[in-house]
């Protein structure tokens, strides 16, 4: 069952669902809008001297610790100061985080989608599942189209839809539990 505004507010008031800081106008008809944090990261190939040179044949896989392919992925960490914009270059991949810290109870999962306003401007983000028992800030991958975009920290950019599981489940205890700011993938 997907939670409506009334159920979300009830779960928040009871303390079973935690979203901090929370602006009550972020709780929508069937989910919660979450805002962009000030830290972000651009993912790009590295080790290539000129753009005209091809990237060496390699692949990325999060569980292949033996590969040197992760050395081909550079993470440029960026930070938007007070009043600054988060500027997203065209045709680029970014990691963005939410300014909200969330904690889901063991009987609730979340489904994250980009707000349609951003999708209509060419920003793309794959749908993301937030496991029951997850706690931390969300990190979302976003890809820009051919036109540069910018958003301000604190601006709503994703929508979190919440649903109850059929029964309580084993809570999430993975490597992203408790994350704050941008955390990128690394070999397991």
Specify whether the backbone of 83 is left (phi greater than 0), alpha (psi in -120 to 50) or beta: left
Catalytic residue among 7, 135, 141, 155, which? 141
Tens digit of each residue's pLDDT (9 = 90 or more) over 52-87: 555 554 555 555 555 555 555 678 888 898 789 999
Q: Look-up: residue for tokens 């601006």?
A: 155
> Chain-wide mean pLDDT for the chain?
86
C-alpha distance from residue 85 to each of 4, 39, 73, 75, 157 (Å):
32, 11, 25, 19, 14
Whether this prediction's pTM lies above 0.85 is answered by no
* Section 23-42 average pLDDT: 93
Tell the burial category of 185 from Cβ atoms under 10 Å away from its Cβ (0-12, 13-18, 19+).
Answer: middle
Is 11 assigned a catalytic role? no
What percentage of the chain reaches a pLDDT higher than 70?
A: 83
pLDDT digits (tens, 9 = 90+) for 114-159: 999 999 999 999 999 999 999 999 999 999 999 999 999 999 999 9
Most confident stretch, 35-49, 61-75, 161-175: 161-175
Q: Are 162 and 17 in contact (CB under 8 A)?
A: yes
> Per-residue confidence at 50, pLDDT binned at 50, 70, 90?
very low
Q: What is the mean pLDDT of residues 183-188?
A: 63
Residue 60: its pLDDT value, please? Answer: 54
The answer to whether 2 touches 162, Cβ cutoff 8 Å, is yes
pLDDT at 66: 52
Structural tokens at position 136: 């931390």
Top-level class of domain 5-44+75-164: mainly beta
């Amino acid at each position: 069952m997907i939670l409506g505004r009334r159920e979300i507010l009830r779960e928040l008031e009871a303390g079973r669902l935690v979203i901090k800081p929370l602006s009550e106008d972020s709780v929508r008809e069937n989910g919660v809008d979450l805002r962009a944090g000030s830290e972000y990261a651009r993912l790009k190939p590295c080790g290539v001297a000129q753009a005209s040179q091809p990237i060496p044949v390699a692949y990325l896989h999060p569980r292949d610790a033996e590969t040197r392919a992760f050395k081909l992925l550079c993470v440029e960490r960026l930070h938007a100061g007070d009043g600054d914009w988060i500027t997203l270059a065209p045709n680029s991949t970014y990691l963005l985080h939410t300014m909200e810290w969330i904690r889901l109870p063991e009987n609730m999962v979340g489904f994250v989608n980009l707000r349609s306003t951003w999708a209509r401007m060419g920003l793309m983000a794959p749908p993301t599942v937030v496991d029951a028992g997850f706690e931390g800030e969300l990190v979302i991958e976003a890809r820009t189209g051919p036109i540069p975009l910018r958003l301000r920290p604190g601006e709503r950019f994703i929508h979190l839809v919440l649903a109850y599981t059929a029964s309580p489940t084993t809570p999430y205890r993975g490597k992203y539990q408790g994350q704050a700011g941008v955390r990128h993938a690394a070999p397991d």
